Chain A
């Protein structure tokens, strides 16, 4: 039993409390009676799938949205936050998922922007620089204050964002999906930085859908699902499985179940293909040969930047090949147009869904027929669009593949969450009933529920007797899905493996170029 005095003591321990927050948008309740209490000096994870309402909740905390119901307390006192300035004044700072940095400014200029030390309006950067250097020393945030943002790595840009908060002496630090853009090594560094910050008494709210990271760094975790508050748990008392169940609402299988492959006839043949690089003078793909057969998943593994992107560009026709041959179902398509390849049975889930996957300002339904708009069903006499058919087709896919969006088929693609954009692309590409599916990092940036779903779809495609060429940087994904693994290193295929007979360590050696076959 707690006495009244204890309760008061506990309450005083909260740095920020969001109590019973409800925020509605037309057609959707983004936050439905959500309560989050952040203790002083803790790392508190906020877990939820894409579209669960995490971003909306943070926008409320920052005064970008006013909630219909609920209150916010800072140190036990009710506060009103009407715009980001109020949040700043309360010592709340945020590292946004998409950094708010001016590319052509120096690190120092970005840090001081908005709170510039100045005399008669003239900038006084000297003391600011000293303060920044001291802070970066104190927290192990190494970054050159005079470097331009456009010249430094993503990891350094993120450190700049963290320094921005520390420079403003913020006590409550919010990290919005901070690891999505980082390399594994940078993620480890960030975790350490977050621990240092918490140890210095900062309170951290860590928004993520990556369970491993939450388990590694957080003290407590609050879970949201479809706008509703599910609960808060101590990380020490929970497991990955339990968290994912809370997040998705059912048990999530981390293992992909699939039958052994029954490879049939050859679908794709790539013969000594060479593709030029856009970033350097050498060729990115140096005479690669392999084939993909019906009913198997061939996976290209490798560290980012070893020619996988260009390999896919060559096969799908996004870039011309320098030499070599590509055959689809025995037909030479080396110089065929993208439309021709598509009509002949090639589907492509592209690496960059914004650049090559969707027309962001089109509606969802128009995006669903991007490669089929000219077909008889969708276009009368090659002139008039059959809007009705497009609508019903799009609605069928939305239903079948569980693509969630604000206004259904007429939602603008830009306004959808990343996971649902990806689901829309997967739906479109698989439903075209291709002979060959080329999927490049199909689960990048997605939460476990969506990953599980997309993995199942890819396996189902294989089981229907299609060939699948999967390019992935995630070794877990490679091991789980593939029937055959090809490791790419510096534009060449350096090894071919059976996933059942190889371990991750061995693959790693080949990926790093330390070993090669032949």
Chain B
């Protein structure tokens, strides 16, 4: 039970961070399909910081530097979307898709090159960060970490920024009716860059939170297993509103955790652990369901949920349409 809770919270934090990132981008009018790729690159940034920090660094510094590393990497990478979609008015969906492909591939190449440079026989795309990761934990031996608290803080800040500040009002107007924003002297291009960069920051941060969830090393050729897309689903299900996004993140996080706990532990560990017995009893009515079903669950749920909710969605009206001052 506790394991399930831990994983639910940690996956929810990831989804929350990334979905909020997407939310900023879309409220500015740019569809960010590239969250998946941004997560990978952000994760790479965080992982590199953890790899190269000396062992003795204090916990707060590790945490701070990892956050900064992932945020910076994420923002830099998101500029790709910004420049292509805003400056050159490219199709946002295509650019995002390209970014997803590029993200995993680039991270793999970089990490492999670094590994072989250190040791010619090491051709893996892994980075391990056993020592650094421990410093994120709030309680020893439990998967509660500082990122969860950070995610909640960012949730509150996002709500305030979007709905209580001048910046938020202007940002949202650009996603709804950029001609109106322009007519009152708001620079639509700048606001859209801001939205994309914030999504890069939060997406990157989400990436590093994801790769430190319960594991101490990451194989970058795995990417982030569709978490960027799940976050998009969370954002849509959450109707582009921070509060509802948080609830959606918990729901999706729970199903993701369920699959993790089930497949990760049922197969490999011996019977006896209390929570495994509990889980098995809980799901006994399903009989001997293969673990892969649980793995598929979050994605299937998101398909179903979106099929029923996306029609009446409250998407920003102008999202996906490149803004051109000349068009009326």
Which residues does A use to contact B, with CB under 8 Å? 84-85, 88, 94, 96, 98, 100-105, 109-110, 112-116, 118, 121-123, 164
Instruction: Contact check, A118 vs B166: say whether CB atoms are below 8 A apart.
Output: yes
Type the 1/0 row for B171-182, where 1 means its CB is closer than 8 Å to any CB of A. Answer: 011001101111
How far apart are the CA atoms of A84 and B328 in the complex, in Å? 14
Would A114 and B167 count as touching, CB distance under 8 A?
no
B170 at interface by CB-CB < 8 Å: yes
Do B183 and A96 have beta carbons less than 8 Å apart?
A: yes
CA distance A102 to B182 in the complex (A): 12
Complex contact A84–B182 (CB within 8 A): yes
Q: Is the interface of B mostly helix, strand, loop or mixed?
A: helix
Query: At the interface, is chain A mostly helix, strand, loop or mixed?
Result: loop
Residues of A within 8 Å of B167, CB to CB, are 121
- Give the CA-CA distance A105 to B166 in the complex, in Å: 13
Q: List 16 A-B contacts (CB under 8 A).
A: A94-B183, A98-B328, A100-B177, A101-B177, A101-B180, A102-B180, A112-B169, A113-B180, A113-B184, A114-B181, A114-B186, A121-B166, A121-B167, A122-B164, A122-B165, A123-B166
- Docked Cα-Cα span, A164 to B164, in Å, equals 20
New A-B pairs, 7, CB < 8 Å, besides A116-B166, A121-B167: A98-B328, A100-B184, A113-B173, A113-B180, A113-B186, A122-B165, A123-B166
Please indicate the chain B residues that have their CB under 8 angstroms from the CB of A115 in the complex: 184
The answer on a CB contact under 8 Å between A104 and B176 is yes
- Chain A contacts for B172, CB-based, 8 A: 102, 105
Query: Within the assembled complex, what's the spacing in Å between the Cα atoms of A98 and B185?
Result: 17
- Give chain B nearest CB distance to A150 CB in angstroms: 10
How many A-B Cβ pairs are below 8 Å?
64
Question: Taking CB as reference atom, which chain B residue is nearest A85?
Answer: B185
Check if B51 is an interface residue, CB within 8 A of chain A: no
Chain A residues whose C-beta falls within 8 Å of the C-beta of B182 in the assembled complex: 84
Contact (A103, B176) CB under 8 Å given A114-B181, A122-B164? yes
Nearest chain B CB to A370 CB, angstrom units = 24
Taken together as a complex, chains A and B put the C-alpha atoms of A236 and B170 apart, in Å, by 45
Does B135 sit at the interface, judged by CB under 8 A?
no
B169 touches A109 (CB 8 A): yes
Given contacts A121-B166, A122-B164, A100 and B176 within 8 Å (CB-CB): no
Q: How far is the CA of A121 from the CA of B165 in the complex (A)?
A: 6
B residues neighboring A (CB under 8 Å) = 164-167, 169-170, 172-173, 176-177, 179-186, 314, 317, 328
Q: Report the Cα distance A114→B182, complex, angstroms.
A: 9
Identify the closest chain A residue to B182 (Cβ): A84
Residue from B165, B173, B179 in contact with A105 in the complex, judged by beta carbons closer than 8 Å: B173
The CA-CA distance from A112 to B186 in the complex, in Å, is: 12
Q: How far is the CA of A123 from the CA of B163 in the complex (A)?
A: 9
Q: Which residues of A contact B166 (CB under 8 A)?
A: 116, 118, 121-123
Whole-angstrom CA separation of A96 from B180 in the bound complex: 10
Q: A103-B317, A118-B165, A121-B167 are in contact. Are A113 and B181 (CB under 8 A)?
A: yes
| Chain B residues closer than 8 Å to A84, beta-carbon distance | 182-185
Nearest chain A CB to B68 CB, angstrom units: 23
Complex CA distance for A114 and B185, rounded to whole angstroms = 6
CB <8 Å contact, B185 and A102: no
In the bound complex, residues from chain B placing their C-beta under 8 Å from that of A112 are: 169
A88 contact set on B, CB distance < 8 A:
184-185
Least CB distance, B180 to chain A, in whole angstroms: 4
Query: Please, which residues of chain B bring their CB within 8 A of the CB of A109?
Result: 169
Residues in A neighbouring B183, C-beta threshold 8 A: 84, 94, 96, 100
